[in-house]
Chain A
Amino acid sequence: MLSLAARRLFLLVPNLVLLTFVVFAGMISWLGSPSTIMLGQDASPAAVRELDARYGFDQPVAVQYVRWIAAAAQGDLGRSVSTQQPVASMLSPAIPVTLELGLACILLALLVSLLANSIATGARIVQPLISAISVVGVTIPNFMLGAVLIYLFSVRLRWLPTTGWSPWSAGIGTHLMHMIMPVLTLSSFYACSFGLVYRAEYRATARLLFVRAARAKGLSETRVSYRHVLPNAVLPVITYAGLSLGQLVGGAVVTETIFSMPGIGRLLVSSVGSYDYPVILALTLLILVGVALANLGADLLYARVNPQVRV
């Protein structure tokens, strides 16, 4: 298990270096010097040259990259070219917002998918219905679902605050009211896709020999399903949840944008809009590392729960 972790981490580093270099070089060579962006409508050729020299934008791309990655390795992510703030200070308030959204979504999705599908195991008519809902759930884009929710609950019914985000300090009630629609928007996909995976696994497990043996021993159908089938079907769902974290980040980008939540997704979109490359790079790095570690965690968890598996 340790060797698995070591191997993964070993592969992760060159991968990150490569990806960030591509993004870095691309940004610099395609988009030109960030100085004009920093100066905005006050940019003059002289002022641009001055800033270029001060920040080293006149150096070759490779030199700039090495500087950046060396600093990043020591925890210094540089300063935003757009706000002049240290990148770290822009990321730190955004991370908890996204983590909260993501965790709430995963938990809600696991809960809903397992509950709905466990209940449905017995009732034959309910199954196709749940399957149909699940397929719709995995195919509706987040932005569309978000727009529908906003239209229904804010514009028409006025039950929920339109958008925005409210910190915990402004009151738990207010905070939760603002979280309802974003969490629903983001988790629908996962609730449904987890459900589909779970159903497939459940059916596959139910056909296995040991389950049939349990039945043959005269155990009740409920007991068989909860004691034997369920635990084995849940495992793949956990792996799948780990694997889908990358996609979850993508969903969070759209969700945070549509609901204007100050998380890392929205920070990414706004920094993409202003070509704020230190922030884009830092976010890319953060997201890649975060997703890779979460995957690793899911794999290790899986290996631990099910010792037969040696990935």
Chain B
Amino acid sequence: MNTELRRRTLLAATAHAAFGVATLASWIAPHPARAAEPVRGGVLNVGFDDDAKTLNPVLSVQLSERQVLYLVFNTLVGINTDFSIKPELARAWHTEADGSRYVFELQEGVRFHDGTPFDAAAVKWNIEHRMDPATGSPQRTQLQSVIRSVEVLTPNSVAFNLINPYPALLSDLAERPGFMISPTAAQRSGAEFGRNPVGTGPFVFESWMQGASIVLKRNPSYWQAGRPWLDGVVFRDIPNHVIGLQRLTVGEVDIVTSISPDEARQVEGNDAITVEQAKVGRWFTLQYQVDKPPFDNPKLRQAIAHAIDRNRINQVTMRGRAVIADGMTPAGLWWSSPDEVVYDYNPAKARALLAEGGVAPGTTLAIAASSDLVLRRIDQLVSEQLAAVGITLQLQPVSQSESYARVVQRAINFTPISWTQRSDPNGLQYILLHSKGFANTTGYSNPEMDRMLDQARQSLDQNERKRLYAAIKSQMMRDLPYIPLYFAAEYAAVSKKIGGFVWPPDQIPRYRDAWKAAG
């Protein structure tokens, strides 16, 4: 898949985003002139890289699933395209007890698609349901480390009592932990809820034919008057992007997202289609296990960092349109900081470092070769560049859907990988760099790093957090548990009939407020 395999390019490795508060303007390209005025009616056909496994937000893992979840469900709070938090099911909130208690005022009169009311009790049930080990929700660990209890104050206000102050709570509640599902429907459907999702969102689930389509219909009694514009949204499976773009040109689908520069070239110049670049793409990086040989040798890690030519990798895989990364945060976010520690492309220095570190020329290492179109090429280029300094890389194939699981099992040592940005710095940095972070698969452990991450996660002072995250970045670049490559260039190809489509930096397209011009 492999196209098959590839097209199910699962974003297992592309990570789910947990967004948070961020103040950043103009993050996404301003939409060029398209269907300018909203109109009622019409069905949006989305070209869908289907790897969806469940539409139950409590169990959801795949990135693609969330395109659908954001239509069927509402989150407690929402995010804007600049990552700032906005009201959604909670119309207002404030903190108490020095940031360790959040009180939310809920929208009144909201009903789930099954007619049951959405209220404070439903919020409490949703969070406790996720924290119950019997549910088996992957969000449990995350919530358990933060939430002590949820308290119903009145039918329309609810309080979250936290273990420690935790400013990233709102960003967490804007994504998966914040999707409010109908307790009644969830209890009635049990394990089948993932096939019969019931939420409060602007669209009602109608059907799902695995491998073909997911059909949603307009929610006629949506709590936001006059919305949504569309009569329905149909997610149509596309086996790969080239077919997706082909279907876009003949009008069978209206939008294809997450396409590469090479793929985007295929529709550039088509009058009926707009190609937009996301201002922030996924973070691509190399990772390996630093707690055991051979990568426990810092000289080897530094040598690799100097041996790879990231500009060439950018040229070949992204047509030079990606932004080279010297950390995991792109420029322009509130916690961005200057690059203090950088590794230039310098094969001579790499060879010297290898000699210093006692790495014999001709050493053979294995790198996981994913079936993903971009990762596959990164592998190939990295192996050429390392060969030039005397390290032979063996490419070991792994299907993309499988690769992250193998990384977690620690069966894959050395691999390129990609992560989506989250809107709070804690989101990505804590889970990857903290010795107890659940996505720390490199075995990286530095007490100083842990201390800074713990402090940054609890601080309510944004300036202090900014300072800490700058120090964390430099520490990471010195220790090199990751060798950052670039922030990718990613595109969406959209029919000009479509307006109101939003693509935040978390890489999940939002079709909620989209409309489709007739004809």
Contacts and interface: CB of A to CB of B under 8 A. Distances in A.
Interface stretch (B232-240, B316-324, B482-490): B232-240
B194 A260 contact: no
A164 B210 CA distance: 12
Contacts of A222: none
A79 B54 CA distance: 13
A273 interface: yes
B13 interface: yes
Given A36-B405, A85-B194, A163-B243, A262 B141 contact: no
A51 B194 contact: no
A53 to B, nearest CB: 11
> In which size bucket is the chain B interface?
35 or more
B246 interface: yes
A155 interface: yes
Nearest to B134: A54
A47 B400 CA distance: 22
Given A36-B409, A83-B194, A41 B401 contact: no
Interface string A249-286: 00000000111111000110110111100000000000
Contacts of B25: none
B250 A273 contact: no
Given A84-B191, A275-B402, A164 B209 contact: no
A20 to B, nearest CB: 22
A82 B61 CA distance: 10
Contact of B61 (A39, A46, A51): A39
B247 interface: yes
Contacts of B61: 39-42
A167 B250 CA distance: 20
Contact of A164 (B1, B5, B236, B406): B236
A28 interface: no
Contacts of B5: 269, 272-273
Contacts of B250: 154, 158, 161-162
Nearest to B133: A50
Nearest to B401: A274
A190 interface: no
B409 A44 contact: no
Interface residues of A, number: 50
A97 to B, nearest CB: 9
Interface string B43-70: 0000000000110000101100000000
B218 interface: no
Given A41-B13, A163-B239, A94 B136 contact: no
Contacts of B356: none
B455 interface: no
B50 to A, nearest CB: 9
B211 A266 contact: yes
Contacts of A43: 138, 405, 408-409
Interface of B: 1, 3-5, 8, 10, 12-13, 15-16, 53-54, 59, 61-62, 133, 136, 138-141, 191, 194-195, 209-212, 236-239, 243, 246-247, 250, 252, 399-402, 404-406, 408-409, 411, 438-439
